[in-house]
Structure 1
Amino acid sequence: MRSLLALLGVAPLACGDSGGGSGGASETSTSTGPASTAEPTAAVPTSSTGGGSDIEPKSGTWTYGGSTIVDNSCGGDPPTDPAGNFTITVTSPGKFTVNDGDFDEAFECTYSGDSYSCPDRIVSTYKDPNIDATVTSSLDVDGTLLSATEVDGTQTVKLTCTGASCALAASSLGYTLPCEYSYTFTATAN
């Protein structure tokens, strides 16, 4: 179950599912930063409200507050509920990292004013050894730093497939490939 959730972009924000992969299939998770399953993702400032100084997010533990799907070309009901905690660490002016236990590495985001952006990155690749299909999940996050302790944002998950059996992979996932979906979320510092 965890491999499928990671593939669909939920793990990046903090899914909280600690199950293993599905029998016989191999999974590889690569990440350039934490996102929670809610893995879907932490927010960082994007635009300034007023005088133009940056809102710097508080370094430390944050908790997702909920999510809502806003666009879906995948069909079905993709996972969107970020849950649990993630960590934001301000690394320099205008930059921070997000770390979530579901990812091997933290990912970097930038902020300016009250806006933030976490660039598109591959979060997982799934190859079923029984068919010629490799499904890759990538995601990006953009949002608003409402204050140093509150953010909102939109996470966009993109699913692609390579190989001769992509139609079979799409059928077993219950989605149209390639596709993408996005959802909005909120988070607060603890």
Structure 2
Amino acid sequence: MVTDGYSYCPPSAPVRSPCVPVADLVGRRHPRWDGRHETSFHPPRLPVTARVFVQRFSSTPRGARLARHLALHRLDTWGIPYGSTVSDTAALLVAELAANAVTHGRVPGRDIEVLLRLDAYTLRIDVSDSRGERRPTVMAALEAEHGRGLVLVEALADRWGVLDRVPVGKTVRAELDLVPRGERSLAGDDFARG
């Protein structure tokens, strides 16, 4: 496939043959379109393999709240509606991980970063901060007022962990399985079709 951003030429097309305007590939008609290629060329439908959202937020409680709101909005635009089980679970995970990042990983002048990655099988939530030396622990003392948030993360996420971030900092990752592992081949085909 050859593309210059404005037109699409199939790999088998002769060098001087006219290309299909990109606007036609997404369903809009180009004013210069003369219909010559309608029967000879049908662009392949490319599967969507993953959707990614990355955003930086101020390392403040307000930034953590905004991270949760924007994450839910993004999931809704990706087809995971507000109020669904996945949306509600993701809201709790983003809220807890972002709150931990701004409370325990805050470095003045540095932001936190939230990454959402959705594919046919998994929703991955990464929250990164600049304090690599402060690793989260799951269990707090029974008499402590705080420190039970990662117990919630462990209960809700199918997998979670802490990764080093280059050049400094750490990323706390939580993953939700959208499809049981035994049914994955069927779901991947449905997701790829749109």
Report the structure, 1 or 2, having the larger helix content: 2
- TM-score category by the smaller chain? under 0.3
TM-score (norm 2): 0.24
Report the structure, 1 or 2, having the larger strand content: 1
The structure, 1 or 2, with the larger RCO (C-alpha pairs under 8 Å, 6+ apart) is 1
